[in-house]
Structure 1
Amino acid sequence: MTDEKIVQGNARATTKDENFYIQWGYETVKANIGTANEVLKLLITINVALIGGGVAFLYNSDVPEGFRITILAAFFIGLILAFAGVFPRKSTIDVRMPDKIKAHKDRVLDSKRRYLWAASAFTVFGLLASAMAVSEVRICF
């Protein structure tokens, strides 16, 4: 005999609402990587548009060269990071082992989130630098 204690309790079937939310939770977990990819693709589109607009509007403008370089570099780095986050990578996993699949998917999602935050940070920095340039606020450029 083992030293395990027997615990008695009451059980009931889950309600329709509980089943709905449980299923929704599973779907959300499965969709996280796809959602991160879609947001990274949007960041690619936004940064390409911001680079194009920045080049067009900053050419021969009164904005100091330091601001122009900083703004365009921030958008370009954001673009590169977003592209790197979307770019597929080769990996090998044993599909017969659920814990290995979960660990792999967690690593993929963590990686995509890091790229997402980094690309977003550079994009926001570029937008803030643009706002400073337009409003003629000078800090160190």
Structure 2
Amino acid sequence: MNKDPAKGTARPPTEDERFYRQWGYETIKSNISTANDVLRLLITLNTALLGGSAAFLHDSSIGPVARTILLTFFFTALTIALLGIYPKEKKIDIRIPEEVKTHKKDTLNRKITFLKLASSFTLLGLLTAIISVAGIQICP
């Protein structure tokens, strides 16, 4: 129930207010699934980038140091994404809503941390590739 500030009395929520409240609940419930989906995409992307880099950069103009750095970034991103998608078990009493809420928040925060790390290493790998292909020497 919302209060009408002009009258100070309670009024029933509007259709829009009910809609957005329900949408908010659905979004909160789907955040962990969305994070898992993005981690899955990062796993696929980094697997392809790692495999492609290993196969196609061997005889390229990219130096061995840059190639090693590039492969390390993609492998690290892949490893982090795999760790992030792995479920973490914790014993909670599902009859206590606050425990469920805390567990879900912790799970989402953990997945977001892995997402940020994996994304950062993927971007570092791509940046290394761009710099190397452009002919800028990373290391002598």
- Structure 1 runs, 4 residues or longer, greater than 4 Å off: none
* 3-state secondary structure, aligned to 1:29: helix
CA distance in 2, matches of 1:49, 1:100: 39
The number of aligned residues is 134
Name whichever of 39-48 and 56-65 sits farther off.
56-65
Distance 1:45 1:73 in 2: 16
Alignment of 1:1-141 (within 5 A): 9-141=8-140
Cα deviation, residue 53, structure 1: 1.0
What is the TM-score with the length of structure 1 in the denominator? 0.91
CA distance in 2, matches of 1:133, 1:139: 7
TM-score normalised to structure 2 length: 0.92
Q: Distance in 2 between matches of 1:17 and 1:64?
A: 59
Q: How much is the aligned-residue C-alpha RMSD, in angstroms?
A: 1.2
Equivalent-residue separation in structure 1 for 2:55 and 2:103 (angstroms): 43
- Shift in Å at residue 55 of structure 1? 1.2
> How much has 1:46 moved relative to structure 2?
0.2
CA–CA distance in structure 1, aligned partners of residues 90 and 10 of structure 2: 42
Q: Secondary structure at the residue paired with 1:11?
A: strand
State the distance in 2 between where 1:85 and 1:139 align: 30
* Cα offset, 1:61, TM superposition: 1.4
- The amino acid across from 1:49 in the alignment is A
Q: Distance in 1 between matches of 2:36 and 2:77?
A: 15
- Same amino acid, percent of matched pairs: 47
Q: Report the CA distance between 1:88 and its aligned residue.
A: 1.1
How far apart are the structure 2 equivalents of 1:127 and 1:102? 37
Letter of the structure 1 residue corresponding to residue 56 of structure 2: F
8 A Cα contact 2:39 2:115, kept in partner: yes
For structure 2, list consecutive stretches of 5 or more residues without a partner in the other structure: 1-6
| Residue ranges of structure 1 left out of the alignment (5+ in a row) | 1-7
CA distance in 1: counterparts of 2:10 and 2:139, whole angstroms: 66
| Partners of 2:76 and 2:121 within 8 A in 1 | yes
